[in-house]
Structure 1
């Protein structure tokens, strides 16, 4: 079963969320969180920090990630690990895999014409709102 991760990165004030506009399928043209494949035998947390650095330039020293949920897709024979973290300081993000941007939190993240994941982006954002205090303690 192939593993993937999604990384919900909030700015230091936790009023913006790092998103990417996908340049290829699946979900070409839609906004999503950054993330990628978990390599065989690679611990999920290590893969999350590796993908974060590769796709955004954000390092382990810049953010503490929390493993917040998983999705398992039996028909597609894959699973997705979801991590969230708040930046410790202002960090310049850069990457060439997808177009990176900071979104305010006043979006309808359930809008499937704008956001990838068939509504899961909205679900993840709402779950993190419920447990926001855990991220603020880093």
Structure 2
């Protein structure tokens, strides 16, 4: 039996890992760590980390194939530009990844999804470094 072209449903990474709920859980857990981190916390001038948590969740949802709410609200992500005012050195990179590792682990994703997500997060963290060690 031949399957008609275009009849197979393809799902995005966003859908495969549980959609909005998964990315909101990731961002929440990440910012719980940031809130207690003496190196990273000062990079977030807002008293409440809620807006930063929301931006991260929306960005990751969009990046992985979910709704385009982030771009609708904030325009192009321009991540390096948005992080330029902050000193992002190797120590900040490592702290960011430490909290993100904890957040990713809390999701209990399949091994393949976890590997794909972690690879991107490591890449993203490395590209934000703007200050030599």
TM-score normalized with structure 1 length = 0.25
Q: Which has the higher strand share?
A: 1
